[in-house]
Amino acid sequence: MSENMLHIFAPTRFDNVGAIVGDQMALLHLRNAISDAIDSGTGGAYLVQSDGEGYSLAILLAADMSRVCPTSSADMPTRRAARQTIGMRALPRFLEAIQKSRSPLAAALDIPRFIPRRSGKASF
């Protein structure tokens, strides 16, 4: 039986189908993280894949998506529209969203990557 398991996949060049599939707990965490992002600009959830490995899902509200592009190691720059110049990880407050999605262990141990600096910005 699954618990807090969520899979997300985007459409491929072979079809126009994307999907978010998860158990009830995972979908509730996703809904809460999306609501948080709508209200505050950032949200996050810590979820699990079917192999049992956890991952942080950062959610950001972007006022203008026209220049944002997905990060893909297989994407050739010439195939990307010239206007798409900002990677999702380069968006303001991305690290804040990651901090909200930290694992329970990282939250308990205050792993430095997720602890905000005194200036209010997250550290690496």
Domain coordinates in residue numbering, the chain: 6-64+91-114
Report the predicted TM-score, pTM, of the whole model to 2 decimal places. 0.74
124 pLDDT tier (thresholds 50, 70, 90): very low
Cβ–Cβ < 8 Å for 45, 37? no
Average pLDDT over residues 40-62: 94
Instruction: Using the predicted structure, report yes or no on whether residue 112 has a pLDDT greater than 70.
Output: no
Q: Do residues 56 and 101 lie in contact, with contact meaning Cβ atoms separated by under 8 Å?
A: yes
Cα–Cα dist 74/105, whole Å = 32
| Average pLDDT estimate for 44-73 | 87
Helix, strand and coil in the chain, % to nearest 5: 30, 25, 45
